[in-house]
């Protein structure tokens, strides 16, 4: 095989890696549901994201995530153990969204008109 063809094949294979890593599973756990819902809201509101929120779950099922916008503002996502159905997204000092996680995930699955 020619070196150019081999190089092209390697580039094609590697270019899909980051895209495959970002695909959401069909069903997820609480941690992934909060993260994907947060990303859906950020995309819907056209927030320019530098670092997508990275989430952690505490022993009591509270989820917190942190990311960063292109202009350096901190993205904070929280879902408390006491109210696991809801979450809040803050960008810098502004509350961007408060609502039901499942509603956001369901809305993202509907075809746009």
- Residue 6 scores a pLDDT above 50: no
Number of domains in the chain: 1
Within 13 Å of residue 84, how many CA atoms lie on the same side as its CB? 11
In a domain? residue 10: no
The domain of 79 spans 25-109
Task: Give this prediction's pTM.
Answer: 0.74
In a domain? residue 9: no
Task: Catalogue the E-assigned strands of the chain.
Answer: 49-57, 63-69, 74-79, 86-91, 94-100
Start-to-end CA span in the chain (Å): 47
In a domain? residue 69: yes
Give 70-106 pLDDT, tens digit per residue.
999 999 999 999 999 999 999 999 999 999 999 999 9
């Amino acid at each position: 095989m020619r070196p150019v063809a081999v190089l092209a094949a390697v580039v094609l294979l590697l270019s899909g890696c980051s895209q495959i890593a970002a695909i959401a599973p069909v069903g997820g756990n609480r941690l992934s549901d909060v993260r994907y819902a947060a990303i859906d809201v950020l995309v819907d509101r056209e927030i320019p994201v530098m670092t997508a929120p990275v989430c952690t779950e505490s022993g009591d099922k509270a989820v917190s995530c942190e990311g960063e916008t292109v202009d350096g503002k901190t993205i904070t996502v929280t879902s408390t153990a006491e109210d696991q159905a809801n979450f809040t997204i803050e960008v810098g000092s502004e509350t961007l969204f408060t609502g039901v996680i499942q509603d956001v995930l369901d809305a993202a699955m509907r075809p746009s008109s």
